[in-house]
Amino acid sequence: MAKILKAPGINKCIGCYSCMLACARVIHKSFSPRVSSIQVRSRGGLQSKFAAHICVGCIEPACAAACSVEALTARPGGGVRFNAGKCISCGACGKACVVKVIHFEEETGKPVICIQCGSCTRFCPHHVLAMEERDHA
């Protein structure tokens, strides 16, 4: 079964942003964590806990259902596949996302989509992130 990204160890997060830098670097060839599909944020300032805003790997993704050009399609095991060539930058996926984690590249207007590649997990020094099988449908 394909795995999806999870953050089971979020309480161990030190907020180093290495995961975001990895996603930006490996997937988007960018230095900027703004274009990372995982976004680590404090819940209310740095006195509070961190939260990992990540794609939750829906089996029936609302973002794909909202995509009229099939740029986004459901991925077996959860989450979506993204064909950027088909994307018309309409923004419908972002509005449909049930956890509101899809954001957009400013220059292209295209969505920043998690493709469940696990690059971020390989650069987490505290084992906060992991690729796991979806444990419920």
Partner 1 sequence: MLNENFMRVLTIDLANLHSEINERADLHEYLGGVGLAVKLFDEHFLPDREITDSCQPIVFACGPMSTIFPVVTKVVAVFPSPLTGELGESYAGMRLALAMRLAGLDAVVIKGRAAKPVYLAVSDEGVKTKDAAHLWGLSCEETGRILRETEPGRGHRSCLRIGKAGENRIAFSAVNVDTFRHFGRLGLGAVMGSKNLKAMVIYGDRNDRINNYNEYSKVYQEIYQKVVTTDVMEKYHGVGTSINVQPLSEMKGLPTRNLQDSSFEHADKISGEAFARDSLFRKLACTGCPVGCIHIGLHRRAFDDNYEYEAVAVSYDHELIFALGSFLGMSSQGKIYELIDRVEIYGLDAISTGVALGWVTEAFAQGLITKEQLGTEVAFDNLEGYLHVIEALVKGENEFYQTLGCGARAAAEKYGGQDFAMTLAGNEIAGYHTGYGAILGQLVGARHSHLDNAGYSFDQAATLPGEEELVEGLIKEEKERNVLNCLCICLFARKVYDRDTVIKALGSIGINKTPENLTELGERIFQLKNGIKQKMGFKLQDVKVPNRFFETASLNGRLNREVFDRLVELYLKKTV
Question: 109: which 2 tokens?
Answer: 């207007």
**Cα–Cα distances in Å, from 112 out to 33, 38, 58, 81?**
11, 9, 16, 12
Return the number of the residue (23 or 67) whose C-beta is nearest partner 1.
23
Question: 8: which 2 tokens?
Answer: 């089971």
Return the number of the residue (13 or 64) whose C-beta is nearest partner 1.
13
Interface with partner 1 includes 130 (CB under 8 A)? no
Residue of 15, 73, 83, 86 that binds partner 1 (CB under 8 A): 15
* Contact pattern from residue 35 through residue 64 relative to partner 1, giving x for each residue in contact according to CB under 8 A and a dash for the rest: x---xxxx-xxxx-----------------
Closest listed residue to residue 63, CA positions, set 84, 88, 35, 92: 92
Residue 46 and residue 122: Cα distance in Å, rounded?
24
Residue of 3, 9, 10, 30 that binds partner 1 (CB under 8 A): 30
Residue of 3, 10, 17, 90 that binds partner 1 (CB under 8 A): 17
* Contact pattern from residue 99 through residue 118 relative to partner 1, giving x for each residue in contact according to CB under 8 A and a dash for the rest: ------xxx-----------
**Cα–Cα distances in Å, from 63 out to 13, 29, 73, 87, 133?**
28, 24, 9, 12, 20
- Per the document, the length of the chain is 137
Interface with partner 1 includes 84 (CB under 8 A)? no
Residue ranges binding partner 1 (CB under 8 A) = 14-18, 21, 25-26, 29-35, 39-42, 44-47, 105-107, 123, 125-126
